A and B are shown apart, each in its own frame.
Chain A
Amino acid sequence: MIGPFLGVLFDGIAYGMLLFLLSVGLSVTLGMMNFVNLAHCAFAMVGGYTTVTLMHVFGWPFVWTLPMAFLTAAAVSVIFERTLYRPLYRASELDQVLLTIGIAFVSVAVAAWFFGTVQQPIQMPPYLRGSVSAFGISFGVYRLFLIAVALAIALLLIVTLEFTRFGATVRASVDNQRMARGLGIDVDRTFAITFALGSGLAGLGGALAIEIVGLDPSFAFTYLVYVLIVVAVGGLGSIGGSLIAATLIGISDVAGKYYVPETGAFLIYLVMIVVLMWRPAGLFARR
Chain B
Amino acid sequence: MADALLSLKDVRAGYGAAVVLDGISFDVPVRGSLAVLGRNGVGKSTLLLTIMGFTAIARGAVLWRGEDITRLPPNRRAQEGIGWVAQEREIFPSLTVEENLTVASRPGDWNLKKVYDLFPRLHERRGNKGNHLSGGEQQMLATARALMTNPDLLLLDEPLEGLAPIIVEELSAAIGRLAAEQGMTLILVEQHAEIALSLTDEAVVIERGTIAHRARSKDLLADQATLDRLIGLKVEA
User: What residues of chain A have their CB less than 8 Å away from a CB belonging to chain B?
Assistant: 165, 168-169, 171-172, 174-176, 178-187, 286-287
Contact = CB atoms under 8 A, between A and B. Distances in A.
B103 A185 contact: yes
A175 B84 contact: no
B104 A180 contact: yes
A119 B73 CA distance: 49
Nearest to A166: B103
B92 interface: yes
B102 A168 contact: yes
23 contacts: A165-B103, A169-B103, A171-B95, A171-B99, A172-B99, A172-B103, A172-B104, A176-B92, A178-B74, A179-B86, A179-B90, A179-B92, A181-B74, A182-B75, A182-B84, A182-B86, A183-B103, A183-B145, A183-B149, A184-B75, A184-B149, A185-B104, A287-B94
A169 B103 CA distance: 6
Contacts of B99: 168, 171-172
B146 interface: yes
B26 interface: no
B6 to A, nearest CB: 16
B102 A165 contact: yes
Contacts of A174: 94
Contact of A184 (B54, B78, B94, B102): B78
Contacts of B102: 165, 168
Contact of A175 (B52, B78, B95): B95
Interface string B53-70: 010000000000000000
A175 B93 contact: yes
Contacts of A187: 75
Interface of B: 52, 54, 73-76, 78-79, 84, 86, 90, 92-95, 99-100, 102-104, 106, 145-146, 149
Contacts of A176: 90, 92
Contacts of A182: 52, 54, 74-75, 78, 84, 86
B78 to A, nearest CB: 3
A31 to B, nearest CB: 12
Contacts of A168: 95, 99, 102-103
B156 to A, nearest CB: 13
Contacts of B104: 169, 172, 180, 183-185
Contact of A183 (B54, B73, B84, B93): B84
Nearest to B84: A182
A179 B106 CA distance: 16
Contacts of A183: 75, 78, 84, 103-104, 145-146, 149
A171 B104 CA distance: 12
A181 B73 contact: yes
B95 A184 contact: no
A182 B95 CA distance: 17
Given A179-B86, A184-B79, A171 B94 contact: yes
Contacts of A287: 94
A184 B145 CA distance: 12
